[in-house]
Structure 1
Amino acid sequence: MSRPFAEVIGSPVRQSRSPATHNFWLNRASIDAGYSATEVTREELPDYVASRRGDTDWRGCNVTMPLKEAVLPLCDRLDPVAERIGAVNTIIREADGTLAGYNTDAAGFLEPIAADLRQPHLFRMARILGTGGAARAIVNALADRNFTLVLAGRNPAKAQAILDELPQGGEHHAVCMSHFATSTDFAFDNRSQLLDLVVNASPLGMTGQPPLEFDLSHAPPGSIIYDIVTSPPLTPLLKQGAAAGFRTVDGLAMLIGQAAAAFALFFGQAPDRSGDADLRRMLTA
C-alpha cells in the first residue's frame, strides 16, 4: 500500500535534521506518512524533479544548499514570497501535479527574534555573512523590517547584486567576508533602543566545512549573535559570543520554525509545537 512522503534534498544532506524534525511531528499527530533525506546534486536536480513530478505519493520536498536558487526554473509557479526572495526552500506537489515553490526560511529565521522586532528601536542594523539562498531570505526579511544591512560574501559583487534587488530606500553595504576576520577598534553606539544582529548565513563553521572567521570586535554592544548552522548546534561563533556575554540564537531555532511552515504545506495541518522542548533535546542528543 502506498504511503505519502516528503523529503529534504541537497548536497551534502546527510547532516540534515529535517527528517528527525518532521517525523517527530508526524508521530505526534499520528499521520501515516514519512519524511527522509535524499542526496541530490545540482547536476542531478532536473532529473530528480522530473522523476518526482509524477509520483502521487510525493507531497514535496525541502531544498537545502546548494539548490535553493537552482530549483527556481523547475517550479511551475512561485509563491510571491519565494519569487521576491529569489530562492525556494520548499516545493509542494499540488493535486494536479503542479509544482509550487515556497520559501519558509524567512519566517523561520524571524520566529526566535519576533519579540525583539515588536519593540520600537532608534536604529536597526544587521551584519550578515553569506550570499546563498538562506542569506537571500534573511536579507529580504530584515530589509522589510527596517534594518540597515551589511552583507558579506567571498564575492562582494554577488553580495551587492542581492542588495540591488531590494526596494529602494535602505542604505545597505556589501563587503568582502574577510572584512570581519580581523579586529576593529570602531567606537560603536551603545545607546539603548538599538537592535544589532550578527548573522552567519553561510555554511562556514558547519561540520566538514572551513571555519567561520569573524572577530567579535565587529559586534556592537548588545548584539544578538545568530548562527543558522545546525551541525554542530553549538558552533564556535555561538560559543565565542556566549562567552563574551552576547545573547545567541542557534540554527535549530530557525530550522524548527521554517520546518513548521513547511510541514503545514506538506501535510495539510500545523505541527503540534507543544513538544518543541522535547524536539530540541532529541535533535541535540
Structure 2
Amino acid sequence: MGSLPFTVSDLQTSVSGVRSNPTLLCTPLMGTTVEQMLTEMRKAKEIGADIVEIRLDCLRNFSPAQDLQILIKQSPLPTLVTYRPIWEGGQYEGDENKRQDALRLAMELGASYIDVELEVAHEFNNSIYGKKPQNFKVIVSSHNFHNTPSTEAIGNLVARIQASGADIVKIATTALDITDVARVLQVTVHSQVPTIAIVMGERGLISRLLSPKFGGYLTYGALEAGAISAPGQPTAKDLLDLYNFRLIKPDTKVYGIIGKPVGHSKSPLLFNAAFKKVGLNAVYVHLLVDDVEKFFNTYSAPDFISGCSCTIPHKEVAIKCMDTIDPIAQKIGAINNIVRKPDGKLTAFNTDYIGAIEAIEDGLRESNGSSPAVGSPLAGKLFVVLGAGGAGKSLAYGAKEKGARVVVANRTFERAKDLADKVGGQALTLAEIENFHPEDGMILANTTSVGMKPKIDDTPIPKHALKHYSLVFDAIYTPKDTRLLREAKESGKIIVYGTEMLIRQGFEQYKNFTGLPAPEELFRELMSKHA
C-alpha cells in the first residue's frame, strides 16, 4: 500500500460511530496461582488499568468452580477471562469441552468479557445463545504469529469474526516491518463493530500506543516488563506515564524517533512530558524502522506522522526521502530532525551539531573561565572525531565552523577520508588513534557506538592515550557514564556527557516541531532523574 488512505475526520466519524468512551487499558494477569492473580489485580488497579485479563491457562492447578468464583468476585476491576489453548499461542493442552465449560462458567459468575478463538467461536456463541447476561461481551480473537496479511485478507478476517457472532472483534498479527501496522489500521479504523487490533513485536508497538487514535476498543499493558502476554507488549505504567495514553485522541499529532535499535531512546520521555506540561495534543513514540523510504512512503498522510527525530543508522539515508533540506544539514550530509509541513512535504534539519558543539564549548569555557563573547574556545584546537557516520559528520562540520582543525578517524579509512576532505581535515583509521598525538590539549569526540549498551566494557581508545587530550566528549548516553568518560575523568580531563548533546539538540527539535521554545528546565530535570 502507498499510504494511509484516511484522514482525521474519517477517524473521528469511525470512533464516534462505534463508541464514545476512551479506549480501555487491560492488564493481563500471568500468575500461576489464584493468590498471585489476586495480588496482580490489586496492582493493576493501583497502576490505573480499567480491566484485568484472567489468563486461566497460566494457572498451574485450576479448579474451575472454586477458582473462578474467587477470581471474578474478588477482582477490584471488571474481568476479561481468557483460557488460551496451545494451538492459539496459549498454554492449555487439555480437553476442549472442559475449556469451553470453564468459559461459560466465567460468564455465569459475572465476568464482563470472555475471549474465545475464531476457530471455535460459532460453536461457543451458539452454546450461550439466549443466556448472555446484560452488558456481557464476547471477544472473538484471531492470532497470527508469523506475519501480517494483505489489507484484503485482514478485511476478510474481520468479516469472518463479525459473522461468528462476536460482540468485539480482536485481531493480532505479527510485524515483520513497521509498515505492516498500516494495513491493520486501515481495516480496523473502518470496522463497524468494536475492534481490538494489535500488531505484535517491537515493530508493531505503535498499534498498541496509538489504539485510542484509531478507535481501538482496548489495548493491553503488562504489569511489568517481564510479564508480557504477547510479544512487544508495553507495560501499563509506560502506556499511562511515558506515552500519556489517556490523552491520545483521534486528532492527536504523532511524533516519534526512527532508528534501529530505538527502544533505548529517552526522547519519548522528554517530549511527552513537555507536550503534557504545555497542553499540546501530541504524542511522541518509538518507531523501529528498517527501511526509511518504505516508512515515509507508507505513512505519508499529513495527519499521521507530524515529525520525527532520526537516529542511527538512518541519519544519512533519510535525506533522499526529504522534500526540502536545511542548508546546514545539506552541507553536513546527515539529518536528525524531520518536520512534516501542512501540505505533507517533509523538511529536514540537523540539530546534532548545535547540541554537541555548544556542550563542548561550554565545557571548555567552564574550565578556563572564558566568556561566550570572547569567541569559540574551539578556535585553533585540534579536534579529533571518532566515527564518520551521521553524528560524526555533525561534529566534524560544527568544529570546522568554529575554527578548529579537524581529524576524522573511522573503522574504514575511505569513509574517514571522504569526511575529512569535506571539512579540510586529516583522516585516520580507528586503529591509528592510539598512537596519534601530534600535540597536547586536543579535543576528543566519540560518535561511534563503542561502549554503548550492552557492550559497556568497550572503549574506542585506551586510557593511556587520553593524556594528550584536554576534553573528552562521548555521544553515547546509554549508559551515561561510558568507560571512555570514566577513564577520561580518572585522567583529570574535562568530560562532556552524551546526555548534554541529547538535551540541547532536543531543545532545537522541540522548537522545529512545535514553533515554541523548549521547556529546558523540564528536559534537564527528566534527564538527571532517568540517566
**One-letter identity of the residue aligned with 2:431:** S
| 1:206 equivalenced with 2:459 (yes/no) | no
Supply the distance in 1 between the matched residues of 2:377 and 2:515 (Cα, whole angstroms).
Answer: 35
Aligned to 1:174: 427
Q: Quick one: which amino acid aligns to residue 395 of structure 2?
A: I
Counterparts of 1:82-121 in structure 2, within 5 Å, are 82-115=329-362, 116=365, 118=375
- Tell me: CA distance 1:83–1:119, structure 2 relative to 1, closer, same or farther (3 Å): closer
The residue aligned with 2:295 is: 48
Q: 1:119: Cα distance to partner? A: 5.0
Kindly tell me: are residues 33 and 88 of structure 1, through their superposed partners in 2, closer, same or farther at Cα, counting changes over 3 Å? same
Residue 145 of structure 1 aligns with which residue?
402
Letter paired with 2:474: D
User: Is the contact made by 1:59 and 1:267 (CA closer than 8 Å) also made in structure 2?
Assistant: no
From the superposition, tell whether residues 120 and 89 of structure 1 become closer, same or farther in structure 2 (CA, over 3 Å): closer
Q: Which has the higher helix share?
A: 2
Matched residues in 2 for 1:161 and 1:260: separation? 30
Letter of the 1:219 counterpart: L
Would you say the 8 A contact 2:376–2:402 is kept in 1? no
Distance apart, 1:122 and its partner CA: 7.4
2:466, 2:491 within 8 Å by CA — same for their partners in 1?
no
Q: Distance in 1 between matches of 2:486 and 2:384?
A: 18
Within the candidate set 263, 267, 270, 1:14 is matched to 263
Give the stretch that moved more between structures: 116-125 or 20-29: 116-125
Describe the SS at the equivalent of 2:317. coil
Q: Rg larger in 1 or in 2?
A: 2
How many residues align? The count is 271
Cα separation, partners in 2 of 1:206 and 1:147, compared to 1, 3 Å: same
SS at match of 2:286: strand
Match 1:156 to one of 397, 405, 413: 413
Distance 2:482 2:504 in 1: 19
Q: Which residue of 1 aligns with 2:509?
A: 262
CA contact (8 A) 1:90 1:104 kept: yes
Number of the residue aligned with 2:37: none
Bigger mean CA deviation after superposition, 271-280 or 145-154: 271-280
Structure 2: unaligned runs, 5 residues or longer: 1-249, 366-371
Question: Post-superposition shift, 1:219?
Answer: 3.4
Alpha-carbon distance in 2 for matches of 1:30, 1:178: 50
Give the TM-score, by structure 2 length: 0.49
Distance 1:137 1:213 in 2: 19
Which residue of structure 1 lines up, in the alignment, with residue 386 of structure 2?
Answer: 129
Deviation of 1:145 after TM superposition, in Å, equals 1.0
1:173-252 map, 5 Å: 173-181=426-434, 188-189=439-440, 196-209=442-455, 211-219=458-466, 223-252=470-499
1:14 positional shift: 0.8
Q: Distance in 2 between matches of 1:49 and 1:120?
A: 40
Distance in 2 (alpha carbons) for counterparts of 1:69 and 1:83: 10
Aligned AA (2:386): L
**Counterpart of 2:289 in structure 1: which amino acid?**
V
The 1:31–1:149 alpha-carbon spacing in structure 2 relative to 1, beyond 3 Å, is same
Conserved 8 A contact 1:53-1:93: no
2:76 is matched with none
Q: CA 1:130–1:121 in 2, change beyond 3 Å: closer, same or farther? A: closer
The residue identity in structure 2 corresponding to 1:67 is: H
1: CA distance between counterparts of 2:526 and 2:271? 10
Percent same amino acid at aligned positions? 25
Q: CA deviation at 1:139?
A: 0.6
Taking CA–CA contacts closer than 8 Å with sequence separation of 6 or more, which of the two structures ends up with the larger relative contact order?
1
Distance 2:460 2:422 in 1: 27
The counterpart of 2:323, out of the listed 61, 66, 76, is 76
Shift of residue 275, structure 1, vs aligned partner: 2.9
Q: Tell me how far apart the structure 1 counterparts of residues 449 and 497 of structure 2 sit (CA, whole Å).
A: 13
Query: Mean alpha-carbon deviation: is it higher for 127-136 or for 267-276?
Result: 267-276
Which residue pairs with 2:275 in the alignment? 26
C-alpha displacement of 1:20: 0.9
- Tell which deviates more after alignment, 246-255 or 17-26: 17-26
**1:123 Cα offset (Å):** 3.0
Secondary structure at the residue paired with 1:56? coil
Tell me the distance in 2 between the aligned counterparts of 1:257 and 1:277: 9
Q: Runs of 5+ in structure 1 lacking a partner?
A: none
Cα separation, 2, equivalents of 1:4 and 1:63: 17
Aligned position for 2:221: none
Q: Which residue of 2 aligns with 1:61?
A: 308
Looking at structure 1, the residues matched to 510 and 498 of structure 2 have their Cα atoms a distance apart, in angstroms, of: 18
AA in 1 matched with 2:267: S
Matched with 1:35 is: 284
Answer yes or no: is the 8 Å Cα contact 2:307–2:338 preserved in 1.
yes
Read off the aligned partner of 2:470 and give its amino acid letter: S
187 and 119 in structure 1: CA distance in 2 versus 1, 3 angstrom threshold = same
Shift of 1:162: 1.0
Q: Distance in 2 between matches of 1:222 and 1:214?
A: 12
Q: Which amino acid aligns with 2:465?
A: H
TM-score normalised by the chain length of structure 1: 0.88
Residue 220 (structure 1) shift: 5.1
